[in-house]
Amino acid sequence: MRPFARLLPVALACSFAAMAAHAIELAKYPQVFVAPQGVEVVLAPTADGKQALVRVSGINDPIDQVVFLSTRESQGSTREVYTTRIDGRSYGLLHKQNHAYRGGDQYVVYLPGQRDGVSLAFSDDKSKAFKLADLQASYERQQKQGVQEKLGRFDRNKRLAGAQTELAKMDQAASASCGTPVKTTVDWTGIDDEKLQTLSIPSFCGVVASEIDSACRNSPQFKPMAAGLGQIQCHFGPRLKIRVESQQVVFSTEKDAPNQEEFVRQFLRNQ
């Protein structure tokens, strides 16, 4: 037998051993949680408890049925968060809160694009019937396909489209309340990826339209003034500033500026 032929089985055995060494070792018992409208969450901790495979299903979102390897993070003495990378940032997908007075641990899943979490209930029957091997096989298959990697990358165009949609809704509400067109234009070139990932741009740049909407609903005498304030230019700058310039409201916002609503409200009162 040639030396190479003798070495090949050994090399293959070493390769498979290395792969096995890097395989995820899961704890014996997974947990399956359910919520209304068919939402289901599977939590399968690793043997060392530092990570877990987490799968959410029954939702209209790209993460549906995707198995994520999440990191378990403690936040204080009563909260644990299972985080994974979604859309370019660490995302707390599943939260565990210990409530002694509510009968133990409470689990909540936070779905992308939704502010409020969905409360979960433990399913004993589904947990006992669940097959860990199938979950791990799905995770490995999706890893090879690059599913988790794709969802983990930041999609600037997607985030921009979402922010523009939210701003348009705020403009439409103000337009309806005031009976005059309100439109917010944002200097997107001045907003880098970090701001777009970590900040809710509609909350910052939509504050003028939101306060105009509130003023028109609460003070009918304000409506005639709204016609001259309906064109809004927003950008991020070194400090909070607002002024009327060339028949436009030019609003400069800053991520750490406090009480932006009151700042805009005072501006509108002085018009």
3-class SS letters over 100-165? HHHCEEEEEECCCCCCCCEEEEECHHHHHHCCHHHHHHHHHHHHHHCHHHHHHCCCHHHHHHHHHH
Q: What is the pLDDT of residue 197?
A: 85
The residues, any chain, with a CB within 8 Å of residue 260's CB and separated by 6 or more, are: 204, 207, 240, 253
Q: pTM for the full model?
A: 0.64
Neighbour tally for 184: CB within 10 Å: 25
Q: Quick one: pLDDT band at residue 6, thresholds 50, 70, 90?
A: very low
Give the type of residue at 241: K
What pLDDT score was predicted for residue 11? 41
52-82 pLDDT per residue, tens: 999 999 999 999 999 999 999 998 778 899 9
Complete domains list, the chain, with CATH: 26-152 (2.40.128), 156-269 (no CATH)
pLDDT tens across 133-162, in order? 999 999 999 999 999 999 999 989 988 999
Are the C-beta atoms of 87 and 159 separated by less than 8 Å? yes
Give the separation between CA 186 and CA 188, rounded to whole angstroms.
Answer: 6
The answer to which of 143-147, 215-219, 254-258 has the lowest mean pLDDT is: 254-258
Q: What is the mean pLDDT of residues 165-183?
A: 96
Would strands 183-186 and 248-253 be described as parallel, antiparallel, or unpaired?
Answer: unpaired
pLDDT of residue 30: 96
If 0-12 CB within 10 Å is exposed, 13-18 middle and 19+ buried, where does residue 231 land?
middle
Q: Which residue has the higher pLDDT, 64 or 258?
A: 64
For residue 17, pLDDT over 50 is answered with: no
Looking at the chain, how many residues does it have? 271
Instruction: Compute the distance between CA of residue 242 and CA of residue 234 in angstroms, rounded to an integer.
Output: 9
At residue 14, the pLDDT reads 40
For 39, 179, 255, the CA distances from 58, given in Å and listed in that order, are 5, 41, 36
233 — pLDDT class (breaks 50, 70, 90)? very high
pLDDT tens figures, 93-130? 999 988 666 567 899 999 987 878 999 999 999 999 99
Does position 257 have pLDDT exceeding 90, yes or no?
no
User: What average pLDDT does range 245-261 have in this prediction?
Assistant: 91
| Reported confidence tier of residue 204, pLDDT bands at 50, 70, 90 | very high
Q: Are 73 and 81 in contact (CB under 8 A)?
A: yes
